[in-house]
Amino acid sequence: MTMEIGKVVLKTKSKHTLAAFYSEIIGLKVIADEADKIALGVDNRVLLELIEIKQGKAPKQAKTGLYHTAFLLPSRAELGSFLHHLLESNYPIDGAGDHIYSEALYFRDPDGNGIEVYADRPRNEWQRDELGNLPMATNEVDGDGILMVGAELDWYAAPNDTTIGHIHLQVSHLEDTRQFYQTILGFQVTTEIPSALFFASGDYHHHIGTNIWAGRDLPKMADLETGLAYFSIQVEELDRLEDRLIAYDVAYEKDSDTLITLEDPNGIIIKIATNTKS
């Protein structure tokens, strides 16, 4: 069963402030603007939703939830064009990494939510071990090379083929997280180090990253704290997944024939859907 990340939903004190950032810096378009939320994306596909909680506040300590949302651009040239745009905007960059299978830029939105913008290398260039797993590597990025290939492209907005390539989560327990995402949901572990696990569907490098870099036994976020509200996973059909949830006695709500809502062991809410209306 093929699974992909659908959208990321964030809680914020000011939806318009955050929407302006994702429009001007990331290049997403506003698809819907309602009383308490704004949906943004590309080509009429929602990638990000901002829910306004006027009385919301940032967590005072590390909590489980979002480490970063990773926007996947369709090519290295598009990544170079985006880097030109980012440098011209003078928006602060936290760092960059060459992960062998991808090249990535890292920064934060005005609420402090982590962001990765990246482009994959061709799959025939990915380096795998004898078991098919991918190495954990963060090498220096060839910034000049990326800028050079993107020099002829003008950045007007995120390309229509932009997706959320993966989501990276801050979790409380790695083994409980492994049991949930691998055994119950059916993702494969593609990369593993003592402090992080990376999960994928099919032959991708990862759709979900998880880490305990902020510590173990983190509490989950409170309802009025800003940050990740939930993320969605798109699947082909729900029947087999629902059978596994029942078999492993995992609590869930079936909102309709095409949507299931549940929590992972870290208190992170997930909506699993067979369409883009999650």
Instruction: For residue 166, report the phi and psi dihedrals to the nearest 5 degrees.
Output: -160, 165
* Range 79-105 average pLDDT: 95
Q: Is the pLDDT of residue 225 over 90?
A: yes
Which CATH fold would you assign to the domain 3-273? 2,3-Dihydroxybiphenyl 1,2-Dioxygenase; domain 1 (3.10.180)
Rounded to whole angstroms, what are the CA distances from 92 to 32, 105, 199, 210? 28, 11, 29, 25
Rounded to whole angstroms, what are the CA distances from 213 to 16, 62, 67, 94? 31, 10, 10, 17
Q: Is the pLDDT of residue 216 over 70?
A: yes
Q: Is the pLDDT of residue 1 over 80?
A: no
More confident residue, 2 or 176: 176
6-31: per-residue pLDDT in tens?
Answer: 999 999 999 999 999 999 999 999 99
Asked if residues 251 and 262 have their Cβ atoms less than 8 Å apart, the reply is yes
**Residue 127 pLDDT:** 82
Q: Is the pLDDT of residue 97 over 80?
A: yes
The per-residue pLDDT of the chain, averaged, comes to 94
Domains of the chain by residue range: 3-273
Taking the CA atoms of residue 87, residue 111, residue 264 and residue 162 in that order, the dihedral angle to the nearest 10 degrees is: -30
For residue 97, what are its two tokens?
A: 């990494």
For residue 260, what are its two tokens?
A: 């299931």
The whole-model pTM stands at 0.96
101-154: per-residue pLDDT in tens?
Answer: 999 999 999 999 999 999 999 988 888 877 777 877 888 999 999 999 999 888
Q: Mapping DSSP to helix (H, G, I), strand (E, B) and coil, where does residue 74 land?
A: coil
Could you give the CA distance from residue 166 to residue 209 in angstroms, rounded to a whole number? Answer: 7
DSSP string, 4-47: EEEEEEEEES-HHHHHHHIIIII--EEEEE-SSEEEEEETTEEE
Residue positions counted in the chain: 278
pLDDT tier at 275, thresholds 50, 70, 90: low
Could you give the CA distance from residue 117 to residue 97 in angstroms, rounded to a whole number? Answer: 11
Q: Is the pLDDT of residue 256 over 70?
A: yes
User: 88: which residues sit within 8 A by CB, 6+ positions away?
Assistant: none
